[in-house]
Structure 1
Amino acid sequence: MAAATSPPIPFYRQLVEDYQNQYESLIQNGEAKPVLLWHLIALLLLPVLALLVSRRKGGRYVQLFVLACLFGALVHFLRHRRMLLGGYGYMGGLLPTWWFIWCAVWLAYRNAERDCRRIIRTNTLEPTANGSPTTKIDSKNATEDKRHDFCPQGVERLAWQSYPQSLSQRLDWVFSLLYGMRGPEWNWRISSLGPLPASIHAQLKAKDPSFHEIEMTPAEKTRAHVALRARVRSALVVCIKSYLALDLIKLLMIRDTYFMYNGTMALAPPYPFTFLTAVPGMVRFYRLAVTGFGVHAALTFVTSFNPIIFGGLALAFPNAARALTSVPLDAPWLYAETFGPFLPSLLDHGLIGCWSKWWHQLFRVGFTSTGRWLVSFLPADLASRPAVRQLVYTFVAFGLSGLVHSSGSYVQIAVTRPAAGPFRFFILQAVGFVLQGVGTHVLVPCLMGAKRDLPQWLRRTANLVFAIGWLYLTAPVIADDFARGGLWLTEPLPVSPLRGLGIGVREEDKGWWCWSSPWFEFWDDGTYWGSGVRVI
């Protein structure tokens, strides 16, 4: 069936202005309340303050109370608060929901004070009376000093640090715990980051890692410095590439009615992609590809600033980096890539590899920790079965991911379908995991025999076809919701080279500078708690 004719799209800038006017009307009429900056700061700092209180001094009750407050704030945000910043309000639902899930891990599900340790750089003090320096390692169990022979100049010591006794060190420890979601310097770092250096990894299974130190020789420091410089350069290249990719993707979206406000996949794409209508299914494939590349490029662009900022700080101002935190910011193993290899992940692991090997793992610890917590309530005979545990982990992870993304959809000012869109998409990915597992572990052995495997070329082809095919069938529900809610109206870049040069846009939409609207303004509703800097 031929694709429907695409209606003429309004001028892009006019469309953006119409959305902004609609949002302002909701706020001024009292149908929605604005998000104030102090709301966001409070949400970020409350769990920090809760974790500063030791569980030995009643911290457990403080943490549960704060978690209850966060839940109340989340419900209030989702029901009443609206903003445009961040995907035209999308992040106003996604981030608070994710933040509650993440805080629940450390305030309720897991005992960070007992179980968590991070790698820090220890301070070698002045030599004592017997000629040996003192290195102080602050931990939960003890604060005693350890004596070491005097270190040659250039030798550095790293150690595992448990929950510190010192308040200043504890504050640094808690910030590092809450704001490093992949845990690169922690003993719970996710597996997709790759292994730690052998000398550090060996300490993980030590009887008391807090008191095992690793010396870094001058040669090792030189190699690490070279590796860090290479990593920062690589991140800069990735940042520039993703910036240009975002500019191109944004240009393609501006010209397409589907992305700007319609969300109807059957509409014909604009020139020069009108030829796609002649091939059944290609219009859908094209728009799903643009959506996927858009999300990928945006995440790659944002996460590339982590090594650029912190790795660059360690290179340019090492003393400032040491003063900022005791974490060795000059360690290259802190800055793993956000995404894994694409084709090898799909060829070798199919849909499972797409989500667990290639796609970003920023939410992984939050999802898996919640799954383990829920499994702990199952009867022992069920919880001991690997298949049951894996099934629970899979559906919990994708269910929470669906909840996070549907929350973003729910708070957008346009008409969206949170349950039928994002939530259904992620639940269907869990179903896909189950189908792939049944095919791999049940159907193939039945057809080939228990002792025979599929040829590698056939297995890899089947993995790739199933992964791409399943995403092709299921992704339109979330892609349509993204477009319908106005997610792609957001301006991710301050300057657009393509639009500045007038490539592919109408005269009214040309221009270099894209951030024409303010992000913040003062708001006063006549009450003390309802006044402050408003996030637009």
Structure 2
Amino acid sequence: MSPNWHPALSHAWAWDTNLPARYLGLYRAEFYSEVLSLGTARYFVIPYTLFGCLLPVLYLSVPHRDRLWLRSARFVVALGVVLLNWEIIRSGTSSASIAVSYATGLVAAWGTVWGVGLVLCVDVQRGVARVRVRERRGGGWAGEGGADRLTGGEEEEKKQAAVADEGELPPREYEHYWETYPEDGGFFKRLAWVWDLFSSFRGIGWNIAIPSVPHPRPGVDLSAAISSMPLKSPTGFHRSTTYRAFLANRLFHLAWSYIVLDLWTITARFDPYFVPGPSPAPSHALPPALAPLPASVLSLLRSAAAAAGVLAALFSYFNFPQLVAASLPGYNPLWQHPSIFGSFSANILDRGLAGLWGGWWHQSFRLGFTLPTRFLVRKGVLLEKGTLTKLVGMFIAFLLSGIMHAAGGYTSIPETTVIYTPVLFFMLQFVGICLQSGLGWAVFRMIGDVPRGWKRAGNLVFVVAWMHWTNGLFIGDLSRSAIWLFEPVPFSVLRAVGLGPKGDSAWRWDREYMPRWHWGTHWWETGVRI
């Protein structure tokens, strides 16, 4: 909707401290023009925008075991998911909120990957189960099939035990068990079961959990498996043992990420690279602090700033939901809320680029990305283990990740995003992993094993160099999508104490950040607009 250069915003070779606000105003004005005047865009409205994502939940909530025709309908449902989500992307659905405009495509693409994966690649109603707990009264179990919740003073006793024992239960009174699909339960019980699965992206607490997080192993006594579960996975994802430690850890990450995001908005966002995005010729002058720097140094600073912004956002937006989820009533033990990122040293230093993406990164979408490969293994197309299976799995995962982020750029307000650059960035990560693996093999063949310190140094240098060389494809497109103009914190502490541009309010969220009711022309266009 907006080119990199706009006549109303051209201040060539004169640094403009209002540059972010000017572009934000332009993007919002153009979005409303396309919605209200041209009719080429429409609002992100709940529930309509999420129909394609939620269709698998409704479908899987209906038992299929004795209904062959309904089980066969999974192909129709998968096609419906693809078409509904494609319609959201294609139709110009977006939002005046910069982050929501990007998230529109991201959600639609992820809803397609995850929904189709659960419908076609996993036998949800026969082979998937979640960890639950039931209580024993007298000589038997309470309720048919065991009770899912505790009552009265026993619930309080369980909570007290959880404080010191991370939710593990007295072995003679309670037992953990795998709860399979509640086929004989009512519709709402099945709906709750399926929704729990659908919202558990990493599969924690389910028998299909990703291997990089601490989780009980299927096929063994479950209570024993949970009580002996390691505090840290081989890739460094750790779990808290007390609610006090969990609270302290999550609040610490929220605090530092909040400050970093706040600082980011009063520093890096005044570099034109992060506002209209990279362009062949500069249409806006650099801030005085950046103007004298050589191009190579400026490029490194931009890479560092982008990494800081992305990491702070991920730590902030993933840790907060964990705090909320862990405080909800019912069976919600701490081991189901492991850390967001893995170990830096065990992954990046010891494994290089493969460790960065396969062990250190947050892994939130890993289960969905690996479902196609699991399906091919189950069908005998690929072996369960082997180099080819690993390569195919990596290729599919990076391709899907690139498509997801490209969809986010496509639904953003500016039309200056380049749809292939996020895909190219993620595919280059696949190439980089193969290249580093090949270089490591060649070095070993020539000189044999090398000291661990040298290996770690080489891995770190390769990761930093490769990410710096390739990240412009992704970070530049984030800039063109205007994602950096989003206000990540509602209240700016730094502005409140006098830092930041003169005249900036400490309160950062305006009415565009608030949900509101929208009456559409058609019934499906009516709902909560964000």
Q: Which amino acid aligns with 1:250?
A: T
> 2:433, 2:385 → 1: CA distance?
18
SS of residue paired to 2:44 = strand
Match among 490, 510, 513 for residue 507 of structure 2? 513
Q: CA offset at residue 273 of structure 1? A: 4.4
- Tell me if the contact between 2:134 and 2:146 (Cα under 8 Å) persists in the aligned partners: no
- Residue equivalent to 1:39: 48
- Residue equivalent to 1:316: none
> 1:300, 1:89 → 2: CA distance?
21
Match among 325, 328, 332 for residue 334 of structure 2? 332
SS of residue paired to 1:365 = helix
- Residue equivalent to 1:287: 302
- Residue equivalent to 1:528: 523
- Residue equivalent to 2:287: 270
> 1:192, 1:375 → 2: CA distance?
19
Match among 94, 108, 118 for residue 106 of structure 1? 118
> 2:240, 2:436 → 1: CA distance?
43
1:300-339 equivalences under 5 Å are 300-313=315-328, 321-322=329-330, 328-329=331-332, 331-339=333-341
- Tell me if the contact between 1:253 and 1:259 (Cα under 8 Å) persists in the aligned partners: yes
Match among 444, 464, 469 for residue 468 of structure 1? 464
- Residue equivalent to 2:350: 348
- Tell me if the contact between 1:157 and 1:216 (Cα under 8 Å) persists in the aligned partners: no
Match among 234, 238, 241 for residue 253 of structure 2? 238
- Residue equivalent to 2:433: 433
- Residue equivalent to 1:325: none
Aligned CA distance change for structure 1 residues 57 and 434 (closer, same or farther; 3 Å): same
SS of residue paired to 1:159 = strand
Deviations 1:190-229 (A, max 9, x none): 2221344xxxx4xx224xx7xx656999xxxxxx996123
> 2:338, 2:240 → 1: CA distance?
15
Match among 80, 96, 115 for residue 69 of structure 1? 80
Q: Which amino acid aligns with 2:362?
A: H
> 2:322, 2:309 → 1: CA distance?
22
Deviations 1:87-140 (A, max 9, x none): 251101011101110111210111112221111011435x4xxx655464379x
For normalisation by structure 1, the TM-score amounts to 0.82
Q: CA offset at residue 22 of structure 1? A: 0.9
Further displaced range: 343-352 or 6-15: 6-15
Q: How many residues align?
A: 478
> 1:74, 1:187 → 2: CA distance?
28
Q: CA offset at residue 75 of structure 1? A: 1.2
Give structure 1 stretches of 5+ with no counterpart.
140-150, 218-223, 314-320, 323-327
> 1:378, 1:431 → 2: CA distance?
26
Aligned CA distance change for structure 1 residues 500 and 47 (closer, same or farther; 3 Å): same
> 2:384, 2:316 → 1: CA distance?
42
Q: Which amino acid aligns with 1:520?
A: P
Q: Which amino acid aligns with 2:85?
A: L
Match among 19, 22, 26 for residue 14 of structure 1? 22
Match among 35, 39, 56 for residue 27 of structure 1? 35
> 2:501, 2:42 → 1: CA distance?
35
For normalisation by structure 2, the TM-score amounts to 0.82
Deviations 1:1-57 (A, max 9, x none): xxx967535343333222111110011120112222121453453222111122213
- Tell me if the contact between 1:491 and 1:515 (Cα under 8 Å) persists in the aligned partners: yes
Aligned CA distance change for structure 1 residues 154 and 372 (closer, same or farther; 3 Å): closer
Aligned CA distance change for structure 1 residues 66 and 84 (closer, same or farther; 3 Å): farther
Deviations 1:130-173 (A, max 9, x none): x655464379xxxxxxxxxxx98983321111112312442332
Q: Which amino acid aligns with 2:176?
A: L
Further displaced range: 231-240 or 522-531: 522-531
Match among 158, 162, 187 for residue 180 of structure 2? 162
Deviations 1:479-521 (A, max 9, x none): 11111120111112111112233313133xx111111123334
Identical positions, percent: 28
Aligned CA distance change for structure 1 residues 379 and 161 (closer, same or farther; 3 Å): closer
Q: Which amino acid aligns with 1:446?
A: R
- Residue equivalent to 1:478: 474
SS of residue paired to 2:212 = helix
- Tell me if the contact between 1:7 and 1:257 (Cα under 8 Å) persists in the aligned partners: no
Deviations 1:240-277 (A, max 9, x none): 221111111122233222212233499675244455x1
Over the aligned positions, Cα root-mean-square deviation in angstroms equals: 2.9
Q: CA offset at residue 362 of structure 1? A: 0.4
> 2:316, 2:446 → 1: CA distance?
45
SS of residue paired to 1:56 = coil
- Residue equivalent to 1:398: 398
> 1:225, 1:483 → 2: CA distance?
36
Aligned CA distance change for structure 1 residues 285 and 124 (closer, same or farther; 3 Å): same
Match among 55, 68, 78 for residue 89 of structure 2? 78
SS of residue paired to 2:177 = strand
> 2:170, 2:271 → 1: CA distance?
64
> 2:141, 2:129 → 1: CA distance?
24
- Tell me if the contact between 1:260 and 1:489 (Cα under 8 Å) persists in the aligned partners: yes
- Tell me if the contact between 2:129 and 2:206 (Cα under 8 Å) persists in the aligned partners: yes
- Tell me if the contact between 1:398 and 1:430 (Cα under 8 Å) persists in the aligned partners: yes
Match among 451, 454, 472 for residue 450 of structure 2? 454
Match among 87, 100, 104 for residue 92 of structure 1? 104
> 1:253, 1:484 → 2: CA distance?
15
SS of residue paired to 2:473 = helix
- Tell me if the contact between 2:98 and 2:482 (Cα under 8 Å) persists in the aligned partners: no
Aligned CA distance change for structure 1 residues 426 and 41 (closer, same or farther; 3 Å): closer
Aligned CA distance change for structure 1 residues 153 and 183 (closer, same or farther; 3 Å): closer
> 1:19, 1:307 → 2: CA distance?
33
- Residue equivalent to 2:411: 411
Aligned CA distance change for structure 1 residues 261 and 526 (closer, same or farther; 3 Å): same
Deviations 1:348-388 (A, max 9, x none): 111111111111100101111123335667866xx577221
- Residue equivalent to 1:370: 372
- Residue equivalent to 1:185: 205
- Residue equivalent to 1:143: none
> 1:444, 1:121 → 2: CA distance?
52
Q: CA offset at residue 292 of structure 1? A: 1.4
Further displaced range: 264-273 or 38-47: 264-273
- Tell me if the contact between 1:123 and 1:136 (Cα under 8 Å) persists in the aligned partners: no
Deviations 1:300-352 (A, max 9, x none): 11111233112233xxxxxxx12xxxxx31x2211111111224422111111
Give structure 2 stretches of 5+ with no counterpart.
1-11, 148-168, 228-238
Q: Which amino acid aligns with 2:515?
A: F
- Tell me if the contact between 1:243 and 1:301 (Cα under 8 Å) persists in the aligned partners: yes
- Residue equivalent to 2:488: 492
